[in-house]
Structure 1
Amino acid sequence: MSLSLARRPLVSYLIRNVSVLGGDPTDLVVRDGLIGGTPTGDEEVIDGTGLIALPGLVDLHTHLREPGREDAETVLTGSRAAALGGFTAVCAMANTTPVADTAGVVEQVWRLGREAGLVDVQPIGAVTVGLAGEQLAELGAMAESAARVRVFSDDGMCVHDPRLMRRALEYVKAFDGVIAQHAEEPRLTQGAQMHEGEVSARLGLTGWPSVAEEAIIARDVLLAEHTGARLHVCHVSTAGSVDIIRQAKARGVRVTAEVTPHHLLLTDEKAGGYDPVYKVNPPLRTQSDVDALRQGLTDGVIDIVATDHAPHAGHDKDCEWAYARPGMLGLETALGIVFSVLGPDWELIADRMSRTPARIAGLAEHGHTPADGAPATFTLFDPQARITVDPGALASLSSNTPYAGMELPGRVVATFLRGVRTAFDGKASQ
């Protein structure tokens, strides 16, 4: 059982010769939860030569499965995976059992996160009761709860009723909340198994058209424009979606968007072997979509990278493609994949994986550049290292990673949350 941060003794650290966001080597002193001060000689010394100091990563889209599916993941095991991946905060999606659609359930998840004490676990509340898309959930009660929920999503299910979506946007506008939409027109995806295109035709699998995503995004940016509320688009996956969001931002619509690491790297060609580890929602798309997503992330049309970490128990993945649950692990491999895509643009990585997701989620203690006076909430990353992904060595309870056996660049060396070292040299703190 992990000790909560409040029960852990604070150790002072001196990190020597570390590069903050690619700058000249410097020394960082970590004391009393903050960065700064003069070394006194009682610090634990960490050799930071060759390491990059980044603000602690923030994931706006994580599935921790607890309560209800503790056979796939728990808040504790997901927190370990997050800390090892360089994250200091994760936003836990609402599709648990029971659904996080009441103040009681979101507070339960929030408290479990505090007990784990490895990352800040910020619950996301459901938009509708039971994710059924028929009645608004207790948005106000969740916002006023101890968890202080500010982001709401029926992820896994689309809020497909435009009238209900409008009401949700209007409701959260009162406290500057965000509706995070899973953009999928369900009438266009019935029976769909993968991206609709040449590969689906060759494999004989029912296709999932790009327009199913794009139609909902187009509708919702108009609703956000009409209401003046904040809309966030989950796991954007098509070039057409990028174009719609670009046009909406040009008009001043309050819309943000995310892309997952797997949609930045993998294509629908991976489905060729019918391996269900590559089954995901939304599906892997074409190389032209991947190229558009990368460009959108670089130029700011897509605001953030979010993992959509979706652990599944073995029996939910080790089966025929048609019966397998969609989803992939993401927390422990995200930074390496983004680094492989963006290269050593540390400012851009910090913005897309820390500062902006922290701002969208309202996590004021996160997203700060490691510097004197800042919270000691940061990550040390070795860009010269290489890791080979071993599913059996991951901290998650599940092993459904699409990167098994793949060599990824870079390695998270350490993660600090308010001065507490939550992961170091491949091990999460106990």
Structure 2
Amino acid sequence: MSKILIRGAKVLGGEPQDVLIDGETIDRVGTGIEAGDATVVEAEGQILLPGLVDLHTHLREPGREDSETVLTGTRAAASGGYTAVFAMANTFPVADTAGVVEQVWRLGKEHGYCDVQPIGAVTVGLEGKQLAELGAMHDSAANVKVFSDDGKCVDDAQIMRRALEYVKAFGGVVAQHAQEPRLTEGAQMNEGVVSAELGLGGWPAVAEESIIARDVLLAEHVGSRVHICHLSTAGSVEIVRWAKSRGIDVTAEVTPHHLLLTDELVRTYNPVYKVNPPLRTERDVMALREALADGTIDIVATDHAPHPHEDKDCEWAAAAMGMVGLETALSVVQHTMVDTGLLDWAGVADRMSFRPAHIGRLDGHGRPVSAGEPANLTLLDPAYRGVVNPADFASRSRNTPYEGLELPGRVTHTFLRGRATVLDGTLA
């Protein structure tokens, strides 16, 4: 493979440096590196980050290729600066066996835009009644270490306990979709002033918070790891903060849309804002930003949830829940966290690369930008500002809540083990 010299980039937002890539690894980092026979990427004013890692995506394949495929999803991921994504198990068939997770893993290998690490289901068919083949999925070629029924909550405490006990044996983690189903029957949006005014079924914060409280106590009892998916309320932040103060092995994620958008947008009745968990209040948004800044919330994860046009272009009650997010995540984080002074670029690297790779025990990603490390890298122009146009997306679906919104930052280059998957803002 040819050599590439990234010249003058601000590594993790620090002083400008040169980074020489030789084959699949970083050869040197410093100043004044001679180009020699290397291809030069002029990166003055740009930010160089380790390749982003998303612990929570829905690639839909197998079964819903009308929404997304592993190919289109990983192209979207590369466009957004990601070099690895974790694919949730709610496919058709459900990824609850070694055969299905290996299929997804091999599709990722074949397409090559980013690494795809499947997440295995906790229960058979996501039905919450019987543990899936956790050990077989872990022992498969896909080497699954993260398990989740995301889209549904593992609401049976005994099943959740058994899952935590099982994954403890091989250092795995259960990623919980915290939603008490009895408290959210018929729910359409966040329960509060706006839901009351609109007459839509309310989704109370306690439905999320009660499950998180239960599960951190179960994790403490078992001595296992639990991860909280798409945390969305100020109360959830306080529960996770309390659990961490007790030494409980809990981690949590927040989505870009929960860092920016509020339930006030539901007044438009535009189903693009319908999501699970729902958009919350301004108070919740501020609490989530502060918790991400202070480390109570460990990572940003997109919950990239593509849907075909007909599943969103309908009346609110019938619309599917979810938003695409891979191609806009870094811009939203810059807008809400960096430009507001809550995080620096080193903090972004920590929340969007280092920590998600560590939580998912993903080798070769979330590594320092230093000599000898795999050349999984993202180059961002932070001065760029552009209006979001879903027609430009690489994703098969267009259900973005940011259409027409001006956001900062543009991924100019993404490198997967030294090979450019994005060059000058265009898929390679």
The whole-number CA distance in structure 1 between the counterparts of 2:222 and 2:236 is 21
Please tell me the residue identity of whatever aligns with 2:75: R
Deviation at 1:40? Answer: 5.6
Deviation larger for 272-281 or 418-427: 418-427
Query: How does the TM-score come out when normalised to structure 2?
Result: 0.97
Please tell me the residue identity of whatever aligns with 2:65: E
- The residue aligned with 2:384 is 385
- The residue aligned with 1:190 is 185
Please tell me the residue identity of whatever aligns with 1:394: F
The whole-number CA distance in structure 2 between the counterparts of 1:296 and 1:26 is 31
Please tell me the residue identity of whatever aligns with 1:390: N
SS at match of 1:142: helix
Select which of 38, 42, 51 maps to 1:47. 42
Select which of 17, 29, 45 maps to 1:26. 17
Deviations along 1:36-59, whole A, 9 cap, x unmatched? 246462111110111110010000
Deviations along 1:111-143, whole A, 9 cap, x unmatched? 000011010100000000000000000000000
Deviation at 1:88? Answer: 0.4
Q: Indicate whether 1:410 and 2:409 are aligned.
A: yes
The whole-number CA distance in structure 1 between the counterparts of 2:187 and 2:2 is 52
SS at match of 1:66: coil
Select which of 292, 296, 300 maps to 2:295. 300
- The residue aligned with 1:372 is 371
SS at match of 2:356: helix
Select which of 80, 86, 91 maps to 2:81. 86
The whole-number CA distance in structure 1 between the counterparts of 2:324 and 2:116 is 17
Query: How does the TM-score come out when normalised to structure 1?
Result: 0.97
Correspondence 1:275-354 to 2 at 5 A: 275-343=270-338, 345-354=344-353
- The residue aligned with 1:63 is 58
The whole-number CA distance in structure 2 between the counterparts of 1:421 and 1:295 is 35
| Structure 1 alignment gaps of length 5 or more | 1-9
Deviations along 1:352-388, whole A, 9 cap, x unmatched? 0000000001112011122222211110011101121
Q: Indicate whether 1:207 and 2:181 are aligned.
A: no
- The residue aligned with 2:159 is 164
Equivalent pair of 1:29/1:39 in contact (CA under 8 Å): no
Please tell me the residue identity of whatever aligns with 1:96: T
Q: CA RMSD in A?
A: 0.9
The whole-number CA distance in structure 1 between the counterparts of 2:208 and 2:368 is 35
Correspondence 1:115-264 to 2 at 5 A: 115-264=110-259
Equivalent pair of 1:88/1:416 in contact (CA under 8 Å): yes
Equivalent pairs, count: 420
SS at match of 1:68: coil
The whole-number CA distance in structure 2 between the counterparts of 1:67 and 1:11 is 35
Equivalent pair of 2:259/2:285 in contact (CA under 8 Å): yes
Please tell me the residue identity of whatever aligns with 1:160: D
- The residue aligned with 1:12 is 3
Please tell me the residue identity of whatever aligns with 1:152: F
Please tell me the residue identity of whatever aligns with 1:203: L
Please tell me the residue identity of whatever aligns with 1:296: A
SS at match of 1:54: strand
The whole-number CA distance in structure 1 between the counterparts of 2:357 and 2:338 is 22
The whole-number CA distance in structure 1 between the counterparts of 2:3 and 2:204 is 54
Please tell me the residue identity of whatever aligns with 1:340: H
Please tell me the residue identity of whatever aligns with 2:203: W
The whole-number CA distance in structure 2 between the counterparts of 1:40 and 1:394 is 34
- The residue aligned with 1:36 is 27
Deviations along 1:176-235, whole A, 9 cap, x unmatched? 100000000000000000000010111110000000000000000010000000000000
Q: Indicate whether 1:114 and 2:112 are aligned.
A: no
- The residue aligned with 1:7 is none
The whole-number CA distance in structure 2 between the counterparts of 1:280 and 1:108 is 28
SS at match of 1:16: strand
| Structure 2 alignment gaps of length 5 or more | none
Equivalent pair of 1:124/1:149 in contact (CA under 8 Å): yes
Deviation at 1:27? Answer: 1.2
The whole-number CA distance in structure 2 between the counterparts of 1:108 and 1:305 is 27
Deviation larger for 51-60 or 22-31: 22-31
SS at match of 2:165: helix
SS at match of 1:41: coil
The whole-number CA distance in structure 2 between the counterparts of 1:336 and 1:40 is 31
Equivalent pair of 1:225/1:253 in contact (CA under 8 Å): yes
- The residue aligned with 1:73 is 68
Deviation at 1:11? Answer: 2.5
Deviation at 1:342? Answer: 1.4
Equivalent pair of 2:5/2:35 in contact (CA under 8 Å): no
Deviation at 1:250? Answer: 0.3
SS at match of 1:191: coil
The whole-number CA distance in structure 2 between the counterparts of 1:328 and 1:372 is 37
Percent of aligned pairs sharing the same letter = 67
